Chain A
């Protein structure tokens, strides 16, 4: 068994796939470099990221499976799960051998596993669309920290750009330490060294004057719209699992 290592980028992963095909490796295992523990028996190959090779693999996938296949694999990749590179390799292999097979063959294990991961990604992306809570800062920026299970922020970009086209906003992934900043014109990646890892921890002197008042109004609305007679704790936590409560200012006890 050959262990093929890459640098955790999507292009790196595709470059590694390229090498597997190029070297005609029958039995290869694709692993992100940080997830690998060296063992005595396996032979390791380190593949450096090569944009050209990655582009060739991407082109091949699009040619056989269509553009949607490539997006689908990219979404699965964003899960950062250790087993995903291998699944992607297996999927591409199958795709190249049997050109009719695709991501809709629900009778195959690889497909079912990747579909499952894709669904998890979709759900997490959608949750971020829903649970982001902007705080308006004193200088007019709408800021929100997030800490999603998977690296879905790139998938959220379009949604927020379309929606908040007339306000300055920033969504920051505190777990992965990068964010998206929108300046009415375009989006860019930012790294803010001073961001606190706790959500909703912006000191109140940095907030806009009416920010706390609106937070309170929102919490007030949230409580008034509940129907006591229909209380259903189980359903509630099913929709909003506890790990997401940290996003929701309406579930906080406000201590301003």
Chain B
């Protein structure tokens, strides 16, 4: 192996792959077979964190950054003047195995620029996964990119070797896509997504009858949207996400704040700040949809097309719906508890468990670690000290903000003033 050449390729092709945020390595059920290498049946593991604070759990690389497309938002677009490189299939296999054996990674996340055509590219990706599984008896995590426009047969084969498949729709709106990637259309993205969804559904039903049905993409599929590249609203992003969760059984939708990489006038200029706070609020909304029983209409609608930046979306919802509060900690059911600002799912669990033994007062809640600075305005508990319930939403909000200590504070001062 020529390590110097590999090193050069690795820096080019890792650099090009880094804008894909998915790094999840959990959710698979692949156990070690026949004393082979690896196991991905447990929880995901972040083996290290980059200086930007993002987790590194997979070897995330492109097979090549040669690409026939010219999507404005993408760093490997055809017209971009950058160094190009391509890995050989065996090189990716060797890197993965050797990194895995040293406990650097949980597995491989392989994506690629599109060379020749969609099927040709997809075939190469599958070849890597197949080699890892069949020749190396590798049971670590493999995440393959579904190449837009790839044929159904290939998508079926990909799922036999990969734990997760993903296709990034990247631009949340149709108009945005037309503007930034005129050569692509939404159907190309949705086609492999549909095939994978159908195969997963089929696998799950067949598995019940025939135990030996070959495993198909056990960690499901995911996708990613870039936010802040076009002038989409939060509602547009999240309605698209909610649709994908519902219609395509997505395991995850990722939101990636656009990092300016181009002088193209259709896009935010280089040097524009990455919308990290917005990204964070979108993830919070995503969690509320998936785990907290909220529906998208409650959080974002015609009247509120964008999320508040200064407070989290649950608090924002609660302030708009004060008539549903206060909630009695000692009586409310699980769903009601989960809707209290400052009470997360772990706190809900603790409350449900602890109240079997005795009525809970403020001191109990505090010891459990519940964020009372927010929760106190929305709950009743076993105590005579009730907070007066006649505060207006604005009063509560400014009280909470006055106590808060967000690093984003400078960003939302102006909006605060508007409110009062």
Listed in ascending order, the chain A residues whose CB lies under 8 Å from chain B are 100-101, 104-109, 112, 126, 129-136, 142, 144, 159, 162-167, 184, 210, 213-214, 216-218, 220-236, 238-240, 248, 250-251
Q: How many residues of B contact A (CB 8 A)?
A: 62
- A250 partner residues in chain B, CB cutoff 8 A: 48
Chain B 63-104 residues near chain A, CB threshold 8 A: 95, 98-99, 101-104
For the complex of A and B, 8 pairs with smallest distance between CB atoms: A235-B53, A106-B354, A104-B353, A224-B14, A230-B52, A226-B50, A232-B53, A106-B350
In the complex, whether B293 has a CB less than 8 A from a CB of chain A is no
> How far apart sit A235 and B46, CA to CA, in the bound complex (Å)?
14
- B291 partner residues in chain A, CB cutoff 8 A: none
Quick check: which of B3-11, B171-179, B212-220, B310-318 contacts chain A, the rest being far away? B3-11
- CB pair A163–B38 under 8 Å, yes or no, is yes
Known interface pairs A227-B54, A236-B50. Does A214 touch B274 (Cβ–Cβ under 8 Å)? no
> How far apart sit A213 and B5, CA to CA, in the bound complex (Å)?
12
- CB pair A132–B42 under 8 Å, yes or no, is no
Quick check: which of B15-23, B124-132, B241-249 contacts chain A, the rest being far away? B15-23
Using CB atoms, name the residue of chain A closest to B13.
A224
Q: Please name 12 pairs of A and B residues whose Cβ atoms are closer than 8 Å in the assembled complex, sorted by A.
A: A107-B354, A107-B364, A134-B102, A135-B102, A144-B103, A162-B31, A163-B32, A222-B50, A225-B56, A230-B53, A230-B257, A236-B49
- A166 partner residues in chain B, CB cutoff 8 A: 35-37, 137
Residue in contact with A224 in the complex, picked from B15, B48, B99, CB distance below 8 Å: B15
Known interface pairs A162-B39, A165-B36, A166-B35. Does A132 touch B52 (Cβ–Cβ under 8 Å)? no
- CB pair A222–B48 under 8 Å, yes or no, is yes
- Min CB distance A133 to B, Å, is 6
- CB pair B46–A236 under 8 Å, yes or no, is no
Known interface pairs A106-B350, A107-B357, A112-B367. Does A227 touch B14 (Cβ–Cβ under 8 Å)? no
In the complex, whether B259 has a CB less than 8 A from a CB of chain A is yes
> How far apart sit A6 and B60, CA to CA, in the bound complex (Å)?
51
- B60 partner residues in chain A, CB cutoff 8 A: 225
> How far apart sit A226 and B14, CA to CA, in the bound complex (Å)?
9
- CB pair A225–B102 under 8 Å, yes or no, is no
> How far apart sit A210 and B19, CA to CA, in the bound complex (Å)?
30
Known interface pairs A105-B354, A134-B103, A225-B14. Does A164 touch B48 (Cβ–Cβ under 8 Å)? no
- CB pair A231–B51 under 8 Å, yes or no, is yes
Known interface pairs A166-B35, A239-B53. Does A224 touch B45 (Cβ–Cβ under 8 Å)? no
Known interface pairs A112-B368, A163-B38, A227-B18. Does A217 touch B48 (Cβ–Cβ under 8 Å)? no
In the complex, whether B360 has a CB less than 8 A from a CB of chain A is yes
In the complex, whether B276 has a CB less than 8 A from a CB of chain A is yes
> Counting chain B CB atoms within 10 Å of each CB, which of A109, A135, A221, A222 scores highest?
A221
Give B357-379 as 1s and 0s: 1 = Cβ < 8 Å from A's Cβ atoms: 11010001001100000000000
> How far apart sit A227 and B368, CA to CA, in the bound complex (Å)?
37
Give B166-203 as 1s and 0s: 1 = Cβ < 8 Å from A's Cβ atoms: 00000000000000000000000000000000000000
- CB pair B259–A227 under 8 Å, yes or no, is yes
- A167 partner residues in chain B, CB cutoff 8 A: 37, 101
In the complex, whether B55 has a CB less than 8 A from a CB of chain A is yes
Residue in contact with A133 in the complex, picked from B10, B14, B49, B104, CB distance below 8 Å: B104
Known interface pairs A101-B357, A225-B17, A226-B18. Does A220 touch B7 (Cβ–Cβ under 8 Å)? yes
Using CB atoms, name the residue of chain A closest to B261.
A229
- CB pair B39–A224 under 8 Å, yes or no, is no
Residue in contact with B14 in the complex, picked from A131, A142, A184, A221, CB distance below 8 Å: A221
In the complex, whether B399 has a CB less than 8 A from a CB of chain A is no
- CB pair A164–B37 under 8 Å, yes or no, is yes
Known interface pairs A224-B11, A229-B259. Does A142 touch B101 (Cβ–Cβ under 8 Å)? yes
